């Protein structure tokens, strides 16, 4: 069934309630029972929607996900609610009261904008996706602030809006698209639309090369719970600025144009910068606050002799530095009765799971160790340690 309309009827909604929380192992029995009184295709559609809602809980939370309507691509490509809410609040703080949300998908960003009190025109050319966005605005009581339009975004007049938000499609039939000009619409068109608006935000892949960022854009990388979620190009704010924003919080680190930190010997502490900090090329700002340096000129690990709190990096106390050797590591873990091993890598071709199987085929005791597979001054190295206490969660540059 490629139409949401039957699920929006009283019968469809009743079926959605009936199948809520159905475990995969129970689907056949539930479907067989419900098909005695309901059309088979409607039962299948309800079960499919229930599966999508379960997947969407990680992004939207259980309460919203249970009321919303999804498509498979919509669940995959939609913005995490916490990230969308942060972006909406930033727009509100800029004085924006109306936004044209182009390539709106199932409406995740439109929902966040509307909840911030911003009027939204949500546009998507796919009929099913636009129908889902419309159903979601209605289900969450936001229809008064969200107008959904099924149209080609390149043909929409956005002149009456304070800002434009563009989230080009970055997935195709073969998976993720890496060529920005193969986005739907192409990145060049999206940048043109952004430049034509009073203010704009353009969502892009976090791996975007810095040299591809327009000079008149502000670039922001956003992580949530330590995972990098997206990059945003802002227009009409602070041209040339670079920032890393960490959620929850938010905590924002602004670039100051510092040169790369010096390389220095491994000290007592190793700091692993948040992914958004690394993507934004702001490791130098964190290193300066920590009075630290790099362990290698190509590796984004900071080393220092003192422990300082910072929200932008996780601190580890280093106990051992070894040349890479599976045999030596295995013997050391056995000697120290290690039963919990965390393997991190940066600048190493070794796969963490493969190493874990080799050196710790079964637990040897109650202790935990973190091993970093990396390079130190160009040499393959293993650094052993554990999270430093107290946890680095406050203070630091802002």
Residues of the chain with pLDDT under 50: 391-395, 398
State residue 172's pLDDT score: 59
If you count them, how many residues does the chain have?
398
Q: Per residue, what are the HEC states of 314-361?
A: EEEEEEEEEECCHHHHHHHHHHCCEEEEEEEECCCCCCHHHHHHHHCC
Write out the H or E segment, with its range, that includes residue 370: strand 367-376
* 347: Cα within 13 Å, side-chain hemisphere: 19
State residue 3's pLDDT score: 82
Whether the CB-CB separation of 370 and 385 falls below 8 Å is answered with yes
State residue 185's pLDDT score: 82
State residue 181's pLDDT score: 73
Give the whole-angstrom CA distance, residue 158 versus residue 155. 9
- 327 Cβ contact partners less than 8 Å away, ≥ 6 residues apart: none
Q: Report yes or no on whether pTM surpasses 0.85.
A: yes
State residue 182's pLDDT score: 66
């Amino acid at each position: 069934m490629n139409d949401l309309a039957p699920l929006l009827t009283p019968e469809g909604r009743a079926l959605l309630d009936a199948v809520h929380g159905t475990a995969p192992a129970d689907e056949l029995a539930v479907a067989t029972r419900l098909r005695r009184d309901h059309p088979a295709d409607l039962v299948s559609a309800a079960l499919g929607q229930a599966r999508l809602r379960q997947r969407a809980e990680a992004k939207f939370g259980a309460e919203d996900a249970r009321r919303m309507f999804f498509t498979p691509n919509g669940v995959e490509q939609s913005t995490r609610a916490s990230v969308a809410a942060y972006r909406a609040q930033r727009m509100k703080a800029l004085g924006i009261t109306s936004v044209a949300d182009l390539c709106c998908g199932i409406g995740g960003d439109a929902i966040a904008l509307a909840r911030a009190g911003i009027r939204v025109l949500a546009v998507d050319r796919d009929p099913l996706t636009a129908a889902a966005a419309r159903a979601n605005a209605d289900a969450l009581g936001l229809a008064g602030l969200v107008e959904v339009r099924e149209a080609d975004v390149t043909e929409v007049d956005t002149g009456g809006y304070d800002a434009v938000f563009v989230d080009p499609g970055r997935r195709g039939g073969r998976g993720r698209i890496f060529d920005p000009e193969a986005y739907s619409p192409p990145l060049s068109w999206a940048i043109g639309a952004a430049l034509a608006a009073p203010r704009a935000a353009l969502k892009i892949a976090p791996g975007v090369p810095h040299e591809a960022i327009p000079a008149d854009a502000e670039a922001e990388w956003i992580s949530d719970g330590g995972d990098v979620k997206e990059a945003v190009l802002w227009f009409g704010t602070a041209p040339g600025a670079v920032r890393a924003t960490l959620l929850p919080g938010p905590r924002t680190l602004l670039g100051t144009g510092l040169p790369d930190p010096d390389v220095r010997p491994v000290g007592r502490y190793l700091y692993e910068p948040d992914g958004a900090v690394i993507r934004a090329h702001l490791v130098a700002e964190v290193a300066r606050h920590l009075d630290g340096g790099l362990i290698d000129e190509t590796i984004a690990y900071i080393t220092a002799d003192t422990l300082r709190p910072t929200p932008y990096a996780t601190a580890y106390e280093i106990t051992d530095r070894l040349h890479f050797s599976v045999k030596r590591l295995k013997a050391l873990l056995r000697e120290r009765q290690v039963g919990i091993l965390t393997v991190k890598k940066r600048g190493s071709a070794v796969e963490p799971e493969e190493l874990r199987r080799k050196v710790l085929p079964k637990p040897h005791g109650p202790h935990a160790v973190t091993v970093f597979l990396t390079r130190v001054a160009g040499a393959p190295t293993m650094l052993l340690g554990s999270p430093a206490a107290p946890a680095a969660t406050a203070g630091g540059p802002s």
